Amino acid sequence: MPKNRLFGMMTLIIGVILIATLIGCDDNNADNSGGEIINRSGEAWVGEDEFATAGFIFKTNGTVDAIIEDFANYWYIAFSATYSTRGSTLSMTMAGQSQQTDYSYSISNNRLTITDTIGAQSVTFTFVRKIINLGEWIPPSNHIPLTEGQWMNGTIISSSSSVTYSFYANKGTAYNIWVEDGFNWIDNDDGNDSYIYPSSSYTGDVGIRAYYSDFSQIWDDRLTQYDIWDYPASFTANTSGIVYIVVAPNGTAGTFRIVYSTGSTRP
């Protein structure tokens, strides 16, 4: 069977740990507003490297949203807090709680550095300003139409980009989608499952999401289908209309190909 997971599952988990770590349980006071730390409209502070799927949006009203990347630079709010700054101290209190946590922070060259100190130990996180998409996924105007049974080559240029395909689905009809990329998991009968490389022509490691024309997800909330060379990602349309298939990196940007069919045999 095809496997299901969030894009960058491990990175996402680390991101949640990061946010939970940064809003802890010290009890101090601060009283000044945020100043330079405040984000402009559409912008966020996004973590670097392994924390690149977590971030913050600091607002002028003294609240901050902790955000997590869903996939392909689409983000959602994990929870909110209030904040204040005083000198080099940043204080945050989670919504619905009374305990306040203080951190050391600095901003230089559009980088926000936050240091959490517990006893003699300190951990520092760095965030950069980034334009993000927050909230509901909306299909791009340049989505690419697919023809049943015909493979389409594609390229993803970066870890935060995606490619959107589309086809017309009829209510009650079952559809199967296959993707060939550089990394595909094979379920072997002897239990020794392994990655195979079906074609040296493709370099990406990608997953897909599917949406109806009203932008509702075809599979469960935030469910990503990946490794769908051996087994297809399948669904039966519950309405007639355009279906959008979003391909985004599961780990590695690069090349791939995609096809769909109402038949059960891979074209």
The total number of structural domains in the chain stands at: 2
Question: Side chain identity at 202, as an amino acid letter?
Answer: Y
Is the four-CA dihedral 121, 92, 36, 159 of positive or negative sign? positive
CA 137 to CA 245: how far, in whole Å?
Answer: 12
In a domain, 116, yes or no: yes
Q: 162 with 213, same domain?
A: yes
Q: Which domain holds residue 80?
A: 9-134
Distance from chain centroid for Cα 132: 11
Buried b (16+ CB within 10 A) or exposed e, 156-170: beebbebbbbbbebe
Band (90; pLDDT cuts 50, 70, 90): very high
Q: Which residues of 15-43 are buried (b: 16+ CB within 10 A; e: fewer)?
A: beebbeebbeeeeeebeeebeebbbeeee
List, in sequence order, every beta strand (DSSP E) within 21-173. 43-47, 54-58, 63-71, 74-86, 89-94, 101-108, 111-118, 121-131, 133-134, 144-145, 152-156, 163-169
Q: How confident is the model at residue 231 (pLDDT cuts 50, 70, 90)?
A: confident
Per-residue pLDDT reduced to its tens digit, 114-169:
998 877 788 888 999 998 888 777 778 889 999 999 999 999 998 778 899 999 99
128 and 204 within one domain: no
For the segment 62-74, the average pLDDT, to the nearest whole number, is: 83
Looking at 83, 109, 134, the residue that finishes a domain is: 134
Residue 156 neighbours by CB under 8 Å, 6+ apart: 162, 163, 204, 206, 247, 248, 249, 253, 254, 255, 256
Residue 22 is assigned to a structural domain of this protein: yes
Bridge partners (DSSP) of residue 177 are: 233, 260
Name the pTM for this structure.
0.64
Structure tokens at 226: 């990946």
Report pLDDT digits (tens) over 12-59: 434 454 555 555 444 333 333 334 899 998 899 999 876 777 899 999
Domain end residue (candidates: 105, 134, 163): 134
Please report the pLDDT score of residue 56 as a whole number.
94
DSSP string, 147-186: -TT--EEEEE-STT--EEEEEEE-TT-EEEEEEE-S-EEE
Contact 7, 72 (CB under 8 A): yes
User: Token digits for 36?
Assistant: 């330079």
Give the three-state DSSP class for 230. Answer: coil
4 burial level (CB within 10 Å; 0-12, 13-18, 19+): middle
- Is 36 domain-assigned? yes
What is the rounded distance in angstroms from the CA atom of residue 49 to the CA atom of residue 28? 30
Query: Is residue 78 included in any domain, yes or no?
Result: yes
Q: Coil, strand or helix: which one is 123?
A: strand
| Complete edge-to-edge strand list for the sheet that includes strand 144-145 | 3-4, 225-226, 205-211, 241-252, 163-169, 144-145
For residue 155, being part of any structural domain is answered with: yes
CA distance 39 to 42: 8
Q: Which of 27-41, 79-93, 193-207 has the highest mean pLDDT?
A: 79-93
267 in a structural domain: no
**What percent of the chain has pLDDT above 90?**
39
Q: Does the residue 186 lie in any domain?
A: yes
Can you give the pLDDT at residue 228? 84
- The span from the CA of 202 to the CA of 46, in Å, is 30
The residue from 134, 157, 188 where one domain ends is 134
